[in-house]
């Protein structure tokens, strides 16, 4: 797979079912259909899908408040993981954030999610705080991570 064959385009209503399938295939539920539907209409949201050969292979979701960005979610289809698609999506988002004069990017990640923490650390995020029992499903703690652009 060549990363140059991937197109990153804004997420649309037509993509939502496929985006949710990528989550449910991995038994995860980060964004609800309703929240995606609302957020893609919001001018502060930056929701994008990665397309390879007409197939959605991943997505990234974030929103901007003044000069801070909140990275809400990044998910890559199971069969396409470890091929640097998440890295490609993050590079894309960082470029966009810089163009929009974002100074810092924040995110929350489950303390058990080592894959994602490795990804974020590789891209310069640092743990700045811990939010106790942040996740409603299992009351897991979240690390809050931050990266300055």
Ligand X SMILES: CC(C)(COP(=O)(O)OP(=O)(O)OC[C@H]1O[C@@H](n2cnc3c(N)ncnc32)[C@H](O)[C@@H]1OP(=O)(O)O)[C@@H](O)C(=O)NCCC(=O)NCCS
Q: Quick one: which of 14, 147, 129, 22 has its CA closest to 91? A: 147
Position 76 contacts ligand X (CB under 6 A) = yes
Position 122 contacts ligand X (CB under 6 A) = yes
The yes-or-no answer on residue 120 being catalytic is: yes
Binder of ligand X out of 6, 19, 75, 145 (CB under 6 A): 75
Is the CB of 68 or the CB of 113 nearer to ligand X?
Answer: 113
Position 73 contacts ligand X (CB under 6 A) = yes
Rounded Cα distance between 127 and 16, Å, is: 31
Q: How far is the CB of 114 from ligand X (least distance, A)?
A: 6
Binder of ligand X out of 36, 86, 93, 145 (CB under 6 A): 86
DSSP of 74-130: EEE-GGGTTSSHHHHHHHHHHHHHHHTT--EEEEEEETT-HHHHHHHHHTT-EEEEE
Is the CB of 64 or the CB of 72 nearer to ligand X?
Answer: 72
Rounded Cα distance between 105 and 99, Å, is: 14
Site for ligand X in 123-142 (CB under 6 A): none
Rounded Cα distance between 62 and 47, Å, is: 6
The yes-or-no answer on residue 47 being catalytic is: no
Q: Quick one: which of 90, 97, 96, 95 has its CA closest to 125? A: 90
Binding region for ligand X (CB under 6 A)? 26, 28, 30, 73-76, 81-87, 109, 113, 115-116, 118-119, 122
Active site residues: 108, 120
């Amino acid at each position: 797979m060549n990363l140059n064959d991937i197109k990153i385009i804004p997420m649309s209503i037509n993509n939502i079912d496929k985006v949710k399938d990528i989550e449910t295939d991995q038994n995860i539920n980060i964004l609800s259909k309703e929240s995606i539907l609302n957020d893609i209409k919001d001018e502060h949201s930056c929701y994008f899908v990665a397309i390879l050969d007409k197939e959605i292979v991943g997505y990234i979701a974030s929103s901007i408040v003044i000069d801070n960005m909140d990275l809400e979610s990044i998910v890559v289809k199971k069969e396409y993981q470890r091929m640097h698609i998440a890295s490609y999506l993050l590079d894309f988002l960082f470029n966009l954030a810089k163009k929009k004069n974002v100074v810092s990017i924040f995110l929350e990640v489950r303390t058990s999610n080592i894959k994602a923490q490795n990804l974020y650390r590789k891209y310069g995020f640092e743990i700045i705080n811990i939010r106790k029992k942040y996740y409603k499903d299992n009351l897991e703690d979240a690390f809050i991570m931050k990266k300055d652009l």
